[in-house]
Amino acid sequence: MRYTVRKSVVYVVGKIWMPAITAGQEIVLRDYDVENCRDDNGQITRESVLDWLGGNTGDFQSIEDFSASIEDGDQTVDIPWATEEGEMAYSDAFCEEE
């Protein structure tokens, strides 16, 4: 038997509180979170997800960029990084310095 697991994730990069450095985080959304990521028209958009992040990512003092893959019923809403710099900063946050 084969199962398919679909999960909604948001990849965030921004400044954390202490020490005030750039950090990245992967957030796995629950169904409740996905519902709260909708705008007033019931759509999941970059702006509505950013609004949700503003109220639900207390580890960050500011969000620099994010990307997301959100499961919305039978559809997947993919939100790419706004900038290449944001994507690189997220990758850099997880690379060890040598």
Entry pTM:
0.89
What is the structure's pLDDT at 96? 56
- 97: DSSP letter: P
* Domain count for the chain: 1
Give residue 72's domain range: 8-93
Instruction: Write the DSSP string, 2-56.
Output: ------EEEEEEEEESSS--EEEEEEEEPHHHHHHTB-TTS-B-HHHHHHHHHHH
What is the structure's pLDDT at 4? 86
In a domain, 98, yes or no: no
- pLDDT tens over the chain, length 98 residues: 999 889 999 999 999 998 889 999 999 999 999 999 999 999 999 999 999 999 999 889 999 999 999 999 999 999 999 999 999 999 998 775 55
What is the structure's pLDDT at 95? 73
In a domain, 1, yes or no: no
In a domain, 3, yes or no: no
In a domain, 2, yes or no: no
In a domain, 75, yes or no: yes
In a domain, 43, yes or no: yes
